[in-house]
Amino acid sequence: MSDLILPVLLSGGAGTRLWPTSNVGVPKPFLALAGERPTFSATLSRIADPKLFAPPLVVARSEHRYLIEASLADAGLPASLLLEPEPMSTTAAIAAAAEWAAARAPDALILVLAADHAIRDDAGFRRTVARAAPAARDGRIVVFGIVPTEPETGYGYIRPGELLTGSEGVSRVAAFVEKPDADRAVQLIKEGCLWNSGNFLMRAATALEEIRRHAPKTGAACAAALREGKTSGDTIELSREHFIAAEPISFDHAVLEKSDRIAVATATFDWADIGTWAAVWTASGRDAAGNAIEGDVALVDTDGSLVSTDGPVVGVVGMKDAVVVAANNAVLVAPRDRAGDVKALASKLGKLEGALIGGHARHYRPWGYYQSLDVGPTHQVKRIVVNPGARLSLQKHRHRAEHWTTVVGTIEVTVDENVTLLGENQSTFIPRGAVHRAANPGKQPAMLIEVQYGDYLGEDDIIRIEDDYGR
């Protein structure tokens, strides 16, 4: 790692405040919101300078592994992965990352970044990181503070103290302030307080010292989870037994608010936590009536609203400052000023089978993804996209038969002892119990439509005989 800064990307959340578009299957960092490319991809571009940054370490939920690997491949950026068996909040994620980094270079600087924040000024970001580095090397945990543009009530604030000597634009932290009400937010801005971005720079050794001091149970659990984890190449699956013993507490509450080693660097870049639909509306381009529109939308006497659809035509009449989102076979309607309550709605929906993920969400696998298009009591229609050179497991089903039709590219189909190439608009039938596999021998993604018929259509009716990915 030498003197390079190690970016640590935290991507463990589900982003349920942006339901139904963002969900546990495909969370916020991997979605293009507000006309932007996915924030995960944008973050990778931001830390791609090999003169300043080492290849990143990504800490994420195990079920998002294939989404991350696909994003890394698209970016052409090497990286290491720590996979969480369950999300345990940011202290556990940072503790595992710091242990990983310290084992390689204890004095290395680690740059902890949320993978779901929007920053347009990449050069300003890198300048701020460089300004924060001397204080971090001196043993400080340097938080990036953002100059407020409005009295935001959804962010925590930082009250800067005296400037540190030898560090341009870096101050001691006098106090952290919890998310305020509107009047208090106005006063905090007048007093020179900054937004807490939740991104920070520190030595790996400093992080471990402060975690062991203020969150010893979590530190010990994560050290054991890393030590007993399963390693495959540049990926480590953290031990479930040990990792779930960590306390589910944020790094802000566990360490930052208790440590006497915290500093704040005033950022010279723009920043937004695209955490609610109201924030998406703010970050989006809008028409003369203040409406942000995505997809096939028709509006009458509507203003100040965000209306988005990924498929069905949506019509809105006579609404003001509303959020209307149709995605993944689900619909959200809410006042824009109640957008923060969508997380509570998602919690209720989590009790309904399939509702939180959405019936038509993409489900990513190491070979590509599938997407359910229609479901009935005895049938299901899926879109299956296979990456170039990839293939599904050799498998069979007890309860269903399948019809496959290639619609893009060429699919190599194995059915029992027969191997054939299926071109576009060609079909094949796979009887119940037949051993089968689909593969893409081409150089572009290939797509097939699968029609299932049977008395049970669950994903657990897959008997794998051979699998390239060790599942």
Given a cut of 50, whether residue 407 has pLDDT beyond it is: yes
CA nearest to 364, candidates 336, 341, 386 = 386
Question: In this structure, are strands 194-203 and 109-114 parallel, antiparallel, or unpaired?
Answer: antiparallel
Rounded to the nearest 10 degrees, the angle between the axes of helix 39-46 and helix 122-137 is 60
Which two three-digit tokens encode residue 424?
A: 């576009």
Residue 105: count of CB within 10 angstroms of its CB: 18
Domains and CATH numbers, the chain: 6-273 (3.90.550.10), 277-351 (no CATH), 362-466 (2.60.120.10)
pLDDT at 35: 62
Q: Quote the pLDDT of residue 325.
A: 95
Closest to 101 measured CA to CA, from 127, 131, 80: 80
The yes-or-no verdict on residue 450 having pLDDT over 60 is yes
More confident: 1 or 450: 450
pLDDT at position 32 is 83
What is the CA 443 to chain-centroid distance, rounded?
28
Provide the β-strand partners of residue 317.
300
The values of phi and psi at residue 349, to 5°, are: -65, -25
Which has more confidence, 373 or 307? 307
Residue 166 has a pLDDT of 80
- With vertex at residue 249, the alpha carbon angle to CA 246 and CA 252, rounded to the nearest 5 degrees, is 130
Q: Please state, rounded to an integer, the average pLDDT across all residues of the chain.
A: 91
pLDDT digits (tens, 9 = 90+) for 94-105: 999 999 999 999
Distance CA 39, CA 452 (A): 35
CA gap 120, 212 in Å, rounded: 35
> What element of type H or E holds 74?
helix 65-75
Answer yes or no: is pLDDT of 353 > 50.
no
pTM of the complete model: 0.83
The mean pLDDT value for 57-84 works out to 91
Token pair listed for 6: 């190690």
Q: What percent of the chain has pLDDT over 90?
A: 72
Taking the alpha carbons at both ends of the chain, their separation in whole angstroms is: 32
pLDDT for the residue numbered 356: 45
Residue 57 has pLDDT above 90, yes or no: yes
Stretch 412-421: mean pLDDT: 96
